């Protein structure tokens, strides 16, 4: 774990975050905290934030500004229809990738 898991997560983090948002709306810090609880301890707040900016710009999530007791209002993200479509595509791609890699492990690229 450690460095390698961070490297391998890079391409999948977007799907992971969208999958979290598919369960319920959340703000950035909640997402990072949840990921840490799940053992992804090296994930930086800024990384998740940059990712949220990206999925917002691509129209995969809806954003609502919710006032908070301390500090500025929080941006709460929820998955919209376009995001759901993208998430399905992500899971299909993930299954394909996981299957092929598992095949490699079991001994070579025969189909």
Partner 1 sequence: MTAESNESKSRYLQYLELVLGPLEDKKRWRQYKARVKGLPENYRIAVEALERYLMHFGPADGAGAMAMYEDLADLFEQSAADGIPIRAVFGDDPIEFVETFMANYPLGQYRRRERDRFTSAVERAAGEDRTK
Interface residues with partner 1 (CB under 8 A) are 28-29, 42-47, 49-51, 53-54, 57, 68, 70-72, 74-75
Q: Which of 88, 35, 34 is nearest to 60 (CA)?
A: 88
CB closer to partner 1 out of 6 and 78: 6
CB closer to partner 1 out of 42 and 62: 42
The encoded tokens of residue 74 equal 């929080």
CB closer to partner 1 out of 14 and 20: 14
- Give, for 27, the enclosing helix (H) or strand (E): strand 26-27
Q: Cβ 41 to partner 1, closest distance in Å? A: 10
């Amino acid at each position: 774990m450690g460095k390698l898991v961070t490297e391998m997560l890079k391409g999948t983090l977007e799907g992971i975050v969208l999958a979290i948002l598919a369960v319920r709306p959340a703000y950035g810090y909640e997402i990072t905290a949840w990921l840490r609880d799940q053992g992804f301890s090296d994930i930086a707040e800024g990384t998740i934030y940059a990712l949220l900016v990206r999925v917002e710009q691509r129209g995969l999530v809806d954003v609502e500004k919710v006032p908070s007791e301390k500090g500025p209002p929080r941006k709460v993200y929820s998955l919209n229809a376009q995001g759901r479509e993208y998430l399905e595509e992500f899971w299909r791609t993930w299954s394909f990738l996981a299957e092929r890699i598992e095949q490699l492990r079991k001994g070579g690229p025969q189909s």
